[in-house]
Structures are given as structure tokens and as C-alpha cells.
Chains A and B, each alone.
Chain A
Amino acid sequence: DVKVTQSSRYLVKRTGEKVFLECVQDMDHENMFWYRQDPGLGLRLIYFSYDVKMKEKGDIPEGYSVSREKKERFSLILESASTNQTSMYLCASRQNQPQHFGDGTRLSIL
């Protein structure tokens, strides 16, 4: 079974902090994704990567950056956290179909 592991289930940070969310997958998938989920909205794509060191903006990349130095790890970075980035963040990976998700990180920015 594919395992997608997110480093934290819950995280509380302060406004202005630099925040790192880590995601690791164990199935050598090429494609990895970061989403956020807010009440009443679908999963919205922040960034994705289709190979090591490759990244593409999703639909809502503002305020975020990503890093993919190794195939198994995809990091989401909040350069200067703001309260409107309080959300549930989901990482996913895929080789073909379907997509495999992590358990999510509920991030609160105070």
C-alpha cells in the first residue's frame, strides 16, 4: 500500500513565522501535490511537482513556496505566515491514477 506521511497532524504558529510542512511518500511516485481545504470549498491546489527539482504553481500559490530536492519528499513553505493561511493542508502523490493522500495537517496561524 502507498504511504503518504505528513510530518504533523496539528501545528500552531504565529503571524510572520516561516512555516515548513513536510510530506514523504514511499512508492517512488513522480507527481506530488499540496492542497488546502477550507469549509465550503473543494480541495484547492497550491503547488505540484512532477519530478525532482521541478515545481508548478497550482490555483492558489500566493504566499507559498515548495521544495523537492528528493523524489520522496515535497515540502510546502509559508514564507511569512498570515492568519488567512489557517487551514487544513493535504499532501498527495500519484504515479498514474488514483491519487494517494496523507492524513493532513491542521495549521493554525495566531
Chain B
Amino acid sequence: ILNVEQSPQSLHVQEGDSTNFTCSFPSSNFYALHWYRWETAKSPEALFVMTLNGDEKKKGRISATLNTKEGYSYLYIKGSQPEDSATYLCAPFSGGYNKLIFGAGTRLAVHP
């Protein structure tokens, strides 16, 4: 079983702050990395699927980078808004029936 670590576990920021969090995973047998946003009372929603070392993806104020050689990905949120409050999950994808292995998530709270 892959050991996927996300840090920090939780984060409180003020509206307008920029923030970032980390997903670490074993670099062997890597195929892809998924990022999901999970808002309270909603279903997890896919943000990014990243496959190549050095990949950078962007969706509005949210962006992500990927380093497959050292086994980490960063998620950045520029100018956080209260609607960004959610749990952000990362999940590397590695062989064996194509199972995603989820980290415990980073819980972000953005205060007005």
C-alpha cells in the first residue's frame, strides 16, 4: 500500500491570502496523480489529473505542480476566497487494477 502524506492537516487563512499545501508519495511505480476538492455536504470534485514530471496545471486561482522523481505535488491557491474552504485530497495512481490511494487531506478554512 502506498504511503501518501498530505501537509498540513488543516489550515486557516484570511480572505485574500495565498496558500499552498503538499502531497508526498512514493516515487516508484508512478502513473498519475489526482487532486480533488471536497466541500462539506457535497461530493469530491476532481481538480487536476497530472501525469508527467514537471507538469503544471491551472484552474482559475488554483494551480498544481508535480515532481515524480522526488514524489511530491504542490497545490497553490492564489487570493483565497471563503468559497475555497474545503478538504483537498490528493491520490496517486499506481498500477494494480488502477486503484487510487488517497491521502488524509488538507482541510482549508478561509475566513472573511
Give residues in A with beta carbon < 8 Å to B: 4, 31, 35, 40-45, 48, 50, 56, 58-59, 90, 94, 97-104
Which B73-87 residues have C-beta < 8 A from chain A?
none
Indicate if the CB atoms of B97 and A42 lie closer than 8 Å.
no
Main secondary structure of the interface of B (DSSP, over half): loop
Flag if B43 contacts A101 (CB, 8 Å). yes
Total residues of chain B contacting the partner, CB 8 A: 25
- Indicate if the CB atoms of A102 and B43 lie closer than 8 Å: yes
Assuming A56-B97, A97-B34, A101-B43, is B49 touching A41 (CB within 8 A)? no
- CB pair B43–A4 under 8 Å, yes or no, is yes
Can you list 5 contacts pairing A with B, beta carbon distance less than 8 Å? A40-B9, A42-B103, A45-B101, A99-B36, A99-B100
Task: Point out the residues of chain B lying under 8 angstroms from A50, CB to CB.
Answer: 97
Are A42 and B102 within 8 A (Cβ)?
yes
Q: Which residues of A contact B1 (CB under 8 A)?
A: 59
- CB-CB < 8 A to B101: which residues of A? 42, 45
Chain A residue numbers with a CB within 8 Å of B91 are 43
| Pairwise interchain contact A42-B43, C-beta atoms closer than 8 A | no
Whole-angstrom distance from the CB of B63 to the nearest CB of chain A?
Answer: 17
Which residue of chain A has its CB nearest to the CB of B105? Answer: A42
Extra contacts, 20 of them, besides A40-B104, A42-B104 (Cβ < 8 A), are A31-B98, A35-B102, A42-B101, A42-B102, A43-B44, A44-B102, A45-B101, A48-B97, A50-B97, A56-B97, A90-B43, A90-B44, A97-B49, A98-B34, A98-B49, A99-B34, A100-B46, A101-B36, A103-B43, A104-B43
